[in-house]
Structure 1
Amino acid sequence: MTLALPPADQLTVAGLPMRCRITGDGPPVVLLHGIGRTLDDFTALHTALARDHRVLAVDLPGHGGSTPLDGPHTLPALAGAVAGFLDAAAVVDPAHMVGNSLGGAVAMRLAADAPHRVADQALLNSAGFGREVTVALRLLAVRPLARLLLRPHPAIVRRTERAIFFDPAHVTDERVATALTVARQPHAARVMRELVRDLGTWRGVRPGWRAELLDAVAALDLPTLLVWGERDLILPAAHLDHARTRLPRARAHLFRDTGHMPQIERTADLESLLRDFWQAPVPA
């Protein structure tokens, strides 16, 4: 099946093709997107950072143009796939990890499982810090409702895109078309269901994996930047308070009038935050 996705590269990881975009030269930066999304959520930030970094963005397995895994799609499995991707891309130095939503949890899982791969982490509206999550994701844990909600229908896709952004101007026809293309893949609904059921229930995000992961990450004392959008309808900004409690040495920034994807709504400001963080990642 030919995907109408923006042009990108491809690497083979454990025998499975992974869509990626690798540009620039310098210290490695890895960009990880959220559930049901693609590396294209980072296009503008990727371009900005690639002026003096080697920037690697990848579609997680079963997302975008990346082939699904042979086994279940779980948080550890996704982190393992990212580790394999870094090997395939010949990344040997610890990388700056930048993860949005699910991508933030994947970055933390990778840091906990393979700390030598991670120099620091920037977590953008990251999963893993609170139980509350949008009702649409909670309903995906209910099988009959999941079949209904995961239909690749233009109206459903546009409504989902609208929930992601505070400014509706970002809900472009191009973004809707990309999301619809991704949703129409034969494995897309299955991958979403597997991830939702691994990470949550109809009540919200499961506490067990969050507690274990945050304990592991806190023990690393890894330089961390926490970023949130004040108007996030997917993972509420109240999660930032819990994140500060669990990772008290982390830097934190709340963007006003911003939704679930500050890398799109606040690209230039986020770039500045990241560059400042990488210059002096540990607070005095």
Structure 2
Amino acid sequence: MTQDNTTVTEVSVSEAILEDTHLGHPMDTRTITRTIPTSVGNLAVHVTGSGPPTFLWHSLFVDSTTWAPLRSHLVAHRLLISIDGPGHGASTAVQRRFTLQECAAAAVAVLDVLDVTEPVDWVGNAWGGHVGLVAAAHSPDRCRTVITIGTPTQALTRRERARIVPMVWAYRLAGPVPPLTTAVMNVLLGKDLSRTHPQQFQAVSRTFRQSPQRGMHEAMQSVMLHREGLDPLLPRIGAPTLMIVPRADTMISLEQARAAAATMPHAAATTVDGAGHVTPLIADPGTLADVITEFWRDPGRTVITASADLP
């Protein structure tokens, strides 16, 4: 394994646009970025803050800049480790299909390189939630808690595949053309965010349009089309887990999340406002941060309370 590269960076343009400006404190703009070789390519890892370690893995189609609004609410008391997944952001593209297990192993390798031995609080958005659940199942000593945001645990249904396969092939042939980009953004952000948060919408859209086409296509096949259902793994996850569902997310319902959580030893599901996987991170990061930090303060109590709220 080659030696990783380390740089100190300022906030990117996308992060600055996504940043929530209504905060009582400025965002910490000093971030250490390291390029760490893994089995799924050289991954860009961004480290900021200090305190208990938190691992952030983003959704498919975007990159770690989507954490910027939420990060500002957490950085004062946390060591935040955010990663650009393979084929996304500043990470290299994998020229083959890869698995969630490989992604989870890469995350553990990153923690080893960073010399983070304390179990982390994992926060994963969609794809990142999948990786977190797999990591918690296979490396239980590395995860103190797991939070998923907009993360369906089942594989695609036939109906979903019938709708998504043409989109993947269209992307392979034509790249991020406007109709395809619009369809992807509607799933990630909903149809209203372009009106209510136009700058943030464009910043998220830009991360998709600027991704290397070959690497993004491989990622789309690997973690969307050919992703296996995670339900068999769930009973093995002992870490307290909170599944957060955006209310209008078209890919997962609160009922599905509650059913998945019921198969786990210490898990619950809850909901926040949002029309897509990424919307809660952009539209109302303060509320999302409150849900997350309350869970971290007392994971067991949060799980019991959320479970008691079942109808």
Q: For this structure pair, what is the TM-score category when the shorter chain's length is used for normalisation?
A: 0.7 to 0.9
| CA–CA distance in structure 1, aligned partners of residues 110 and 53 of structure 2 | 13
- State the shift of 1:11 in Å: 2.2
| Secondary structure in structure 2 of the residue aligned to 1:186 | helix
- Cα distance between partner residues in 2 of 1:134 and 1:255: 26
What TM-score do the two structures reach when normalised by structure 1?
A: 0.83
For residue 55 of structure 1, report the CA deviation from its aligned partner. Answer: 0.4
- Aligned-pair distance for 1:130? 6.9
Q: Which residue number in structure 1 is paired with residue 236 of structure 2?
A: 216
In the superposition, relative to structure 1, how do residues 139 and 65 fare at CA in structure 2: closer, same or farther (>3 Å)? farther
Corresponding residue for residue 257 of structure 2? 240
Using the TM superposition, give the Cα deviation of residue 159 of structure 1 relative to its aligned residue in structure 2, in angstroms.
2.9
- Separation in structure 1 between the aligned mates of residue 275 and residue 97 of structure 2, nearest angstrom: 33
Unaligned 5+ runs, structure 2: 1-11, 16-30, 305-311
Deviation at 1:127, TM superposition (A): 2.8
CA contact (8 A) 2:152 2:251 kept: no
Listed one character per residue, the Cα deviations across residues 244-276 of structure 1 (whole Å, up to 9, x for unaligned) are: 322364243212454322222331011111111
Structure 1 residues 100 and 134, CA gap change in structure 2 (3 angstroms):
farther
8 Å CA contact retained: 1:154, 1:180: no
53-62 vs 165-174, which moves further: 165-174
8 Å CA contact 2:147, 2:244 repeated in 1: yes
CA separation in 2, counterparts of 1:5 and 1:76?
32
Q: Which residues of 2 match residues 1-284 of structure 1 at below 5 A? A: 6=14, 9-14=33-38, 16-69=41-94, 72-129=97-154, 135=160, 139-140=163-164, 142=165, 146-150=168-172, 151-166=175-190, 167-168=192-193, 169-170=196-197, 172-182=201-211, 184-199=212-227, 206=228, 209-217=229-237, 220=238, 222-247=239-264, 249-261=266-278, 262-283=280-301
Q: Is the 8 A contact 1:165 1:265 kept in 2?
A: no
Decide whether the 8 Å contact of 1:99 with 1:107 is kept in 2.
yes
* Aligned partners of 1:60 and 1:82 also within 8 Å: no
Equivalence for 1:203: none
SS at match of 1:122: strand
Pair 215,5 (structure 1): closer, same or farther in 2 beyond 3 Å: farther
CA contact (8 A) 1:23 1:56 kept: yes
Aligned to 2:146, the other structure's residue is in SS state strand
Percent of counterpart pairs with the same letter? 23
Contact 2:95 2:218 in 1 (8 A): no
- 110-119 or 13-22, larger mean C-alpha shift: 13-22
Count of aligned pairs: 266
Q: Aligned to 2:210, what secondary structure does the other structure show? A: helix
Q: Which residue of 1 aligns with 2:20?
A: none
- 2:139 maps to amino acid: A
CA RMSD of superposed structures (Å)? 2.7
Matched-pair contact (CA < 8 Å) for 2:66–2:282: yes
TM-score by length of 2: 0.76
Inter-partner Cα distance in structure 1 for 2:152 and 2:209: 23
The 1:139–1:257 alpha-carbon spacing in structure 2 relative to 1, beyond 3 Å, is closer
Letter in 2 for 1:101: A
- Pick closer, same or farther for the CA change 1:193–1:39 going to 2, 3 Å: same
Amino acid at match of 1:28: P
Alpha-carbon contact 2:58-2:127 (below 8 Å) kept? yes
